[in-house]
């Protein structure tokens, strides 16, 4: 072992093996240190500088929150596993184009979701890089997918809960529909989070009111009754339908393929449009089947005007096209969602699925094989 030495031969820094100390890269780093060319990162990040960094990267709003915030107790283990030493979470909000999200054409709405998702990921990466260049350790988990599928379905698959962080940072409040409602932009936002190993000079403050106006339009719009007027939320009903072509829904479809005896049997279980839709989700970003709760929400100062001006016209042009659309609704057998969908939307075909949440039923011993829906 030998001590690292500066260019004049004086000991500098920790003791290093002679071979390592002689490496050109090591000598260059030590020389820069000796010359005072390596700046130490500030122990506390300036909040104004950080906010401007986020907005310049493409965010529409941003605020920081300490990992010690009491509402983030459930995030600490996961966050510190992703980036040991994390002290602050930076929440960013990105606006979506409202009428794209409201369109009954799912291709339009899904494209808006995915393009904003890409924008958010790029911005979060840019902020992370700037923090790294300033000497901090920082990390930006994915805004949506990809996630930690090796944990699915027994554990949570997301690195950080973006909604929980955004609410704690003061970017909005969770609405009845379980979407964060920004005080200005409403729920037409996507969220990103950056982890950093430093404190910030000022943290965001939680809103002292809820931008949700309690209109219950999200209750009226949900095709599978996942949102109740009293605030109850049926997450399984929501994911079974809306995430039909993600995760568990794909598993269910794959089981249908495996269980089919031949092409004709497969076509009896899965329509051509369903096959085409699944193909599209496999070749492009996967498609959400609904998102209607977000589409009809009038909360937020920039969004609220048309609802206040003429509520009937708002419902006729925003809510009713989604209610009237003929589309397949995916539900678990004998579920509340199944009963609700058939009663509330009789014009929408209802299809029983396993949801991929449990193993498929064993084949019937009967000579006549039971036909199982996909």
* Among 131, 166, 200, residue at a domain's last position: 200
Domain assignment of residue 323, given as a range: 217-352
Residues 221, 194 share a domain: no
Q: Tell me whether residue 306 is in a domain.
A: yes
Report if residue 26 sits inside a domain.
no
Each residue's pLDDT tens digit in the chain (374 positions)? 444 444 455 445 678 999 999 999 999 999 988 888 777 888 899 999 999 999 999 999 999 999 999 999 999 999 999 999 999 999 999 999 999 999 999 999 999 999 999 999 999 999 999 999 999 999 999 999 999 989 988 889 999 999 999 999 999 999 999 999 999 999 999 999 999 999 999 999 999 999 999 999 999 999 999 999 998 999 999 999 999 998 878 999 999 999 999 999 999 999 999 999 999 999 999 999 999 999 999 999 999 999 999 999 999 999 999 999 999 999 999 999 999 999 999 999 999 998 776 554 555 544 443 333 33
Q: Are residues 155 and 255 in the same domain?
A: no
pTM: 0.87
Q: Mind giving me the DSSP string for 127-178?
A: HHHHHHHTT--EE---SSSS--GGGTTTS---SS-HHHHHHHHTS-EE-TTS
Last residue of a domain, one of 141, 172, 200: 200
Element (H, E) at 273: helix 272-283
Q: What is the DSSP string of 27-51?
A: HHHHHHHHHT--PPPPSEE-HHHHH
Q: Are residues 309 and 194 in the same domain?
A: no
Provide the Cα torsion 120, 99, 184, 115; round to 10°.
0
Altogether, the residues listed in the chain come to a count of 374
Distances (CA, A) of 53 to 120, 342, 361: 14, 50, 53
CA 272 to chain centre: 30
- Same domain (yes/no): 48, 195: yes
Distance CA 300, CA 215 (A): 13
DSSP character string of 277-342: HHHHHHHSSPPPS--HHHHH---STTTSHHHHH-HHHHIIIIIHHHHH----EEE-TT-HHHHHHH
Model pLDDT, residue 148: 92
* Judgement on whether residues 176 and 233 belong to the same structural domain of the protein: no
**Overall domain count for the chain:** 2
Residue 147 located in a structural domain:
yes
Residue 361 lies in a domain: no
The separation between the first and the last C-alpha atoms of the chain, rounded to the nearest angstrom, is 67
Residue 206 lies inside a defined structural domain of this protein: no
Whether 53 and 160 map to the same domain: the answer is yes
Contacts of 198 (CB under 8 A, 6+ apart): 41, 42, 43, 44, 45, 87, 88, 136
**For the domain that residue 179 is a member of, what is the CATH number?**
3.40.109
Residues 132 and 242 in one domain: no
Cβ neighbours for 83, distance < 8 A, ≥ 6 positions apart:
137, 138, 139, 195, 197
Q: Considering the domain boundaries, does residue 292 fall inside one? A: yes
Same domain for 187 and 247?
no
User: Are 180 and 325 part of one and the same domain?
Assistant: no
Residue given tokens 């964060």 in the structure block? 180
**62 vs 192: CA distance, rounded Å:** 9
Query: Are 168 and 306 in a shared domain?
Result: no
Neighbours of 304 (CB within 10 A): 16
Tell me if 52 is assigned to some domain: yes
DSSP letter at 68 equals T
Within-domain flag for 61 = yes
Instruction: List phi, psi (to 5°) of 264.
Output: -65, -40
The SS3 call for residue 5 is strand
């Amino acid at each position: 072992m030998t001590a690292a030495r500066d260019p004049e031969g004086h000991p500098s820094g920790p003791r290093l093996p002679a071979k390592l100390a002689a490496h050109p890269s090591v000598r260059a780093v030590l020389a820069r240190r000796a010359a005072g060319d390596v700046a130490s990162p500030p122990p506390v990040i300036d909040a104004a500088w950080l906010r401007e960094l986020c907005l310049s990267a493409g965010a529409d709003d941003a605020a920081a929150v300490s990992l010690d915030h009491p509402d983030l107790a459930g995030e600490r283990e996961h966050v510190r596993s992703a980036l040991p030493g994390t002290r602050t979470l930076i929440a960013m909000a990105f606006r979506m184009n409202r009428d794209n999200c409201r369109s009954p054409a799912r291709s339009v709405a899904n494209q808006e979701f995915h393009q904003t998702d890409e924008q958010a990921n790029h911005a979060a990466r840019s902020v992370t890089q700037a923090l790294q260049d300033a000497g901090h350790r920082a990390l930006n988990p994915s805004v949506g997918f990809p996630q930690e599928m090796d944990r699915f379905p027994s554990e949570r698959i997301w690195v950080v809960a973006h909604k929980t962080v955004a609410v704690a940072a003061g970017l909005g409040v969770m609405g009845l529909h379980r979407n964060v409602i920004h005080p200005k932009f409403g729920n037409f936002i996507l969220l990103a989070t950056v982890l950093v190993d430093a404190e910030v000079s000022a943290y965001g403050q939680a809103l002292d009111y809820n931008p949700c106006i309690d209109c219950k339009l999200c209750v009226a719009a949900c095709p599978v009754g996942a949102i109740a007027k009293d605030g109850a939320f049926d997450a399984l009903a929501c994911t079974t339908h809306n995430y039909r072509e993600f995760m568990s829904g794909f598993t269910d479809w794959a089981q249908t393929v495996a269980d089919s005896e031949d092409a004709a049997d497969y076509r009896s279980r899965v329509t051509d449009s369903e096959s085409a839709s699944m193909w599209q989700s496999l070749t492009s970003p996967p498609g959400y089947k609904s998102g209607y709760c977000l589409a009809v929400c009038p909360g937020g100062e920039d969004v609220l005007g048309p609802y206040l001006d003429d509520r009937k016209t708002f419902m006729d042009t925003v809510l009713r096209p989604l209610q009237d659309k003929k589309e397949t609704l995916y539900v678990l057998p004998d579920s509340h969602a199944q009963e609700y969908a058939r009663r509330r939307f009789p014009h929408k075909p209802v299809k029983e699925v396993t949801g991929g949440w449990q193993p498929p039923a064993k084949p019937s011993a009967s000579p006549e094989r039971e036909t199982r829906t996909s």
